[in-house]
Amino acid sequence: MNYRHSFHAGNSADVVKHALLIALVRALQLKEGALTLIDTHAGCGLYDLFGDQAQRTGEASQGVMRAFADTNPLLDDYRAAVQAVNDSPEPRLYPGSPRFLAQLLRPQDALILNEKHPEDALALRGAMRGTPAAIHQRDAYELWLALLPTRTPRGLVVVDPPYEQTDERARITATLAAAHRKWAHGVTAIWYPLKDRATHVQWKDKLRRLAIPKFLNVEHWLYDTDQPGLYNGAGLFIINPPYAFQQALPPLLEASRAALVPEGHRGRITADWLVK
């Protein structure tokens, strides 16, 4: 599945992913110790919702625009982070994960971004100008392992690939296994699209066999039944989520579901431990 992010910026998956990312980082920051935040597939950093690629799919209308029309205060932090890159009430620009993470940095924290695609890497450098982010242009999976363990005692790795390569899931599985051996206490968040249920079930079985403890799986299904050949939603695997994040999760997931559910459906967002 090709998921080049400029075509999908601000869609429902982004709303859930970034609302959860904010909550995850803030839960980690309840402790004063420095954090290293690493984004292995950083993308462009900033997206034009009225540009040709975003307009070709129109997915933002069912994502960030719905979140902005909603009034639930649990989504206030998410809306404020999007508003921070806009100078009008209606968002015209959408921040990628790098810009969300940069807004959350404390003086003691570090942000490391990686984007292999040459054009996207150039755009990323422009989007992150004025921030303290270190930017790399390397193979994401090589960088993921090379930077572990982090220089700070605690850290978060965000893995958000476009799933353009047929071996993407296999590389994530192998790299995660190696990363856990090097950095068992670290926090990792892995995003994925939900399209082919059979493929996804097989992948979850392979991840389950890694026997990594504290392996949380959050899944957002847009529709009440699968829509063959269509994008049905997205999910996050989160390894070692902090307790404060776990406690805040249920109401935040329900607020996201209620804001994003397509007309005629109830949708659902679940959070379960992959390894009991």
pLDDT digits (tens, 9 = 90+) for 9-33: 899 999 999 999 999 999 999 999 9
pLDDT at 195 (0 to 100): 82
pLDDT at 217 (0 to 100): 97
pLDDT at 7 (0 to 100): 72
Q: Give CA–CA dist 92/166, Å, rounded.
A: 33
Residue type, 252: L
pLDDT at 228 (0 to 100): 55
pLDDT at 1 (0 to 100): 42
Active-site hit among 160, 205, 224, 272: 160
Q: Which residue positions in the chain have pLDDT lower than 70?
A: 1-4, 6, 57, 224-231
pLDDT in tens, 169-181: 999 999 999 999 9
- For this structure, is 160 an active site residue? yes
Residue type, 86: N
Residue 228, token pair as written in the block: 């063959």
Residue 48, token pair as written in the block: 């034009």
Contact predicate 18/96, CB 8 Å: no
Q: What angle, rounded to 10 degrees, do the helices at 97-104 and 76-83 form?
A: 100
**258, 271, 154: which is closest to 217 by C-alpha?**
271
**Which long-range contacts link 53-57 to residues 24+ away (Cβ below 8 Å)?**
53/4, 53/6, 53/7, 54/6, 54/7, 54/8, 54/9, 54/10, 54/94, 56/7, 57/7, 57/8, 57/11
Q: Give the H/E segment covering residue 102.
A: helix 97-104
Domain 5-273 has CATH 3.40.720.10: no
The count of other CB atoms within 10 Å of the CB of residue 269 is 24
**6, 133, 96, 95: which is closest to 57 by C-alpha?**
6
Q: Give CA–CA dist 68/71, Å, rounded.
A: 8
pLDDT at 265 (0 to 100): 78
Strands 154-159 vs 93-95: parallel, antiparallel or unpaired: unpaired
Q: Give CA–CA dist 131/97, Å, rounded.
A: 14
**107, 110, 113: which is closest to 95 by C-alpha?**
113
- Domains of the chain: which residue ranges? 5-273
3-state helix, strand, coil in the chain (%, to 5): 40, 20, 40
